[in-house]
Amino acid sequence: MAKKPQVTLHPTKNTENENVRASMIALLQTHLATAIDLSYSAKQAHWNVKGPNFMSVHLLFDSLHEEAEGYVDSIAERLTALGGQAQGTVQAASQNTVLDPYPTDLVDSMGHLKRLADNYARWGSALREGISESDEAGDDLTADLLTGVGRGVDKSLYFLESHFQTE
C-alpha cells in the first residue's frame, strides 16, 4: 500500500468525529490517487494499443478511462465533504497510488489487457481493505462509496479478463 498521505482538515459542520474524518481523508486520498492512476493507465492503453481486436479493446480502454474518471470525482467529493483537501494532481497521484507504474512502451492488446487486469485486481483488493477500515471506523458513508467503486472495479476486471480467460 502507498504511504499515508498528508491530511489537511478544514472546518466543517460535518458531524463525523474529527479523528475518524482525518483517517478517512487519508484513506480516500490513497483511493483518489489510485483512481487517477488507473484512469490514465486505461487512457495510455487506449492511445497505444495495437493488434487483434484493435477497435473493441480501443473502445473498452476508453470506457474504462471514463468510468475511472467518475470514481475520481466521487472519491474527491467525499474526501472534501469530510473537510479534506483533495490532492488530485498527477504528482500527488504518483506518490499515493497503490499501483505500480504503467509501462509506456506496451503496445500489444493482450499485454494491455493483462496489465490493466492486474491493476484492477490490485485496486479491488485495496478497496476491500478500505471498506473494512471505514466499517471499523464507523463511517458508513465512506464504506458505501468504496463498496460502489469496488463493485464497478470488479465488473471492469471481469470485462478485461474475459479477453484472455479460456477455461
Report the chain (167 residues): mean pLDDT per 10 consecutive residues. Answer: 68 84 96 98 98 93 98 97 95 96 96 97 98 97 98 98 82
3-state helix, strand, coil in the chain (%, to 5): 70, 0, 30
Global pTM exceeds 0.85: yes
Q: What is the reported pLDDT for 1? A: 45
Spelled out in words, what is the top-level CATH class assigned to the domain 18-161? mainly alpha
Q: Are 138 and 147 in contact (CB under 8 A)?
A: no
Residue whose cell numbers read 463493485: 151
